[in-house]
Structure 1
């Protein structure tokens, strides 16, 4: 049994600074940095683990706004600060502005203690001064003028880089842009698909609620639920035995658009960790088969773990580079799922660091890669078969423009349906296009 002294020696705010440095200084993905810390300190009380998650996620999510606030009240701007001091101030100001359960005095005092603990005792007066000045003047914070500087205003208000605000506004209009930015910051319950072959949705709901988990039906997908109020997924029996699989609503809708039938042969060319393949396997029955492919052994092992956990006998995994044509698969698939590497701008709500790492150059590179892969994998589609192209992003270059380019150069295919989902529609920002081979 864990003694209280073990957890009493852990400074949760110090762990949050570790996470922030891993993301902002070392380039780690935020969800992985948070997961690694929570796994290492699994013995911490539920309240402490929730505090670490909330503070680290919130600070990363609101970083542009937090920097703008700090810069109003600090002579030294955030960009000129030592990374540790910037992390301490950012997390401290997040507590002042967004965590009502933390008294202002505690946020200020703990920031000063952290400064000393991290070896910067000479800067404790600076940190103390900035924190207490912001605490006193929280209602005096100035934001850019929404009419005079609309792009900068939205950037600071929703903590999104200005170039992305400009891009979304130009491509989708001001209303869709702001609604999407607001949706990124909303709470995101966990979306799961249910294995209705082994249990009914009603039985699953009753079991989860008995475990104290908050459950909500998914109005867009019949065999899906939203979960919240749990501590760890791998502690839920229904997840461990494969009755539940984490997957966003839009991802499930994409597979439903492809509409694989009983007995179909499906090839998923960039499948890891395997959510679409699992969903398709549950649609095609034992007479069908899903071949889930990805580039590396590591990714294929992830898929195989999910095949085993979900007890799927009609699904296999294979290492294959989607850019290389597989002659053995020529015209073998009733459905090819091409959910391709993309800029990920639709999932900023759950992977917040994406917005800080994206660039116009990366978008252009990814659009070219997507074209290259589509040109190869369309050869696996049978005559009268389906090619599903999808991404979890919101750029015309990677989505509508890519579909148009593909159709212009592949006369044997025709577009049946195309849809861009936005984050305010109850799912990730997501694009899907169903193409039919004549």
Structure 2
């Protein structure tokens, strides 16, 4: 591979924004990809993948390069040189790469690869917490899996097409996909690509949604004609799946504390032809209280650490703080306590997170069931998904039923 100056400069600029200014990697990459209209798909792919790669392995590369944060521009070039050297890419004769100690880089890599938290590039506190909660053996495997690049998974919008028809439609566009056993609405891209520019996407034939995330709506056991509440709907990936499973019959109430996310859901619902979704902003306790004992199904896709989705959000491990984990666990308990009151007798509740930590998952469900309000519910089943076992995002979901 030959390195091109303008692509490398773009990557370095992006990394400075992510590491020093705290900007989100996905937003930075989106901006970088619009930087030069002459770039082809291969150029844009290089910028995106190299940026994410160096973000993912920040700790390892920084230890090898012997640089510390906040990084100077020269420090970022050193990280870039480490990345290129370890990838076997020949460094061009540029001043930024003068005196790059290639042999020393490889030697340092071999030496530091003996230490898991450096080799797999995790902050000390995450490594310690994961060992404490998952055990050394499981975390060894999960840490490796969370550093793998995530596949692009589509969820077929069954309101408009079928899996077979969508596969054929994309094949005509030279986009190859494959079915995934055990995931009824999923198609996996054989090769990563920009599917958002396709007519199939613009016509609402699919959404991009990880395979693990697609299991949540199925787990909720919805039926056409029900009243279903998605309490932390966000931009509505799971809401849209619920509406499709309900065949547009009945009512889906999408709730969130952020109005702008619900506006995005409204736009997506229109494209998908999902007509049974109603948006409600949680701006006080009133919207919740109005629904007490009214819903057949309630989904609590709770805010969490996001440690299960680091493959697609590698910068999150550098932004997360131990205090946030403790704070979010209190929020999870409060949400479960409050939002569960919307379930009517005989109705069902799913508590879900994209975390791999038992303290955010099984422990929260147990805590709720032991509470005054939780005594009205019985535990039905749960599902723990780890990336190293599934090949997809880490997730948790528990199904509870309200006693009659």
TM-score normalised per structure 1: 0.86
Task: Work out which structure has the larger RCO, using CA pairs closer than 8 Å and 6 or more positions apart in sequence.
Answer: 2
1:46 and 2:41 correspond: yes
Post-superposition offset of 1:321: 4.3
User: 1:199 and 1:43, CA in 2 relative to 1: closer, same or farther beyond 3 A?
Assistant: same
1:263 and 2:240 correspond: no
Q: Secondary structure at the match of 1:11?
A: helix
Post-superposition offset of 1:397: 2.1
Contact residue 179 and residue 186 of structure 2 kept, 8 A: yes
| CA RMSD in angstroms, aligned pairs only | 2.0
Post-superposition offset of 1:200: 2.0
Find the structure with the greater CA-based Rg. Answer: 1
Q: Secondary structure at the match of 2:182?
A: coil
**What CA distance in whole angstroms lies between the structure 1 residues aligned with 2:195 and 2:337?**
38
Partner of 2:391: 426
Partner of 1:65: 60
1:207 and 2:169 correspond: yes
Partner of 2:200: 238
Moved over 6 A (4+): none
Partner of 2:277: 315
Q: Secondary structure at the match of 1:196?
A: coil
User: 1:207 and 1:326, CA in 2 relative to 1: closer, same or farther beyond 3 A?
Assistant: same
Post-superposition offset of 1:137: 3.5
- Out of 412, 419, 424, the position equivalent to 2:376 is 412
User: 1:160 and 1:406, CA in 2 relative to 1: closer, same or farther beyond 3 A?
Assistant: same
Partner of 1:6: none
Q: What are the residue-to-residue correspondences of 1:272-287 with 2, within 5 Å?
A: 272-287=234-249
Post-superposition offset of 1:322: 7.9
Partner of 2:9: 14
Contact residue 325 and residue 377 of structure 1 kept, 8 A: no
User: 1:40 and 1:380, CA in 2 relative to 1: closer, same or farther beyond 3 A?
Assistant: farther
- Out of 76, 80, 94, the position equivalent to 2:83 is 94
- Out of 143, 163, 170, the position equivalent to 2:111 is 143
Summarize deviations over 1:111-168 as a string: whole Å, max 9, x none. Answer: x25xxxxxxxxxxxxx622x2x1x233442342484xxxxxx1111111122222222
Partner of 1:402: 364
Summarize deviations over 1:396-428 as a string: whole Å, max 9, x none. Answer: 221111111111112101111122211111221
User: 1:314 and 1:82, CA in 2 relative to 1: closer, same or farther beyond 3 A?
Assistant: closer
User: 1:429 and 1:82, CA in 2 relative to 1: closer, same or farther beyond 3 A?
Assistant: closer
Summarize deviations over 1:167-203 as a string: whole Å, max 9, x none. Answer: 2222112222121111122232211110234222112
1:128 and 2:82 correspond: no
Q: What are the residue-to-residue correspondences of 1:326-341 with 2, within 5 Å?
A: 326-341=288-303
Partner of 1:363: 325
**What CA distance in whole angstroms lies between the structure 1 residues aligned with 2:36 and 2:178?**
30
Q: Secondary structure at the match of 1:285?
A: coil
Summarize deviations over 1:356-394 as a string: whole Å, max 9, x none. Answer: 122221101000011111111111101111111111012
**What CA distance in whole angstroms lies between the structure 2 residues aligned with 1:216 and 1:354?**
30
Runs (5+) with no aligned partner, structure 2? none
**What CA distance in whole angstroms lies between the structure 2 residues aligned with 1:419 and 1:326?**
27
User: 1:324 and 1:390, CA in 2 relative to 1: closer, same or farther beyond 3 A?
Assistant: farther
**What CA distance in whole angstroms lies between the structure 1 residues aligned with 2:231 and 2:264?**
15
Partner of 2:72: 83
1:161 and 2:123 correspond: yes
Contact residue 294 and residue 322 of structure 1 kept, 8 A: no
Runs (5+) with no aligned partner, structure 1? 1-8, 72-77, 114-126, 147-152
User: 1:95 and 1:80, CA in 2 relative to 1: closer, same or farther beyond 3 A?
Assistant: same
- Which piece of structure 1 moves more, 78-87 or 44-53? 78-87
**What CA distance in whole angstroms lies between the structure 1 residues aligned with 2:197 and 2:54?**
27
Question: What number of residue pairs does the alignment pair up?
Answer: 396
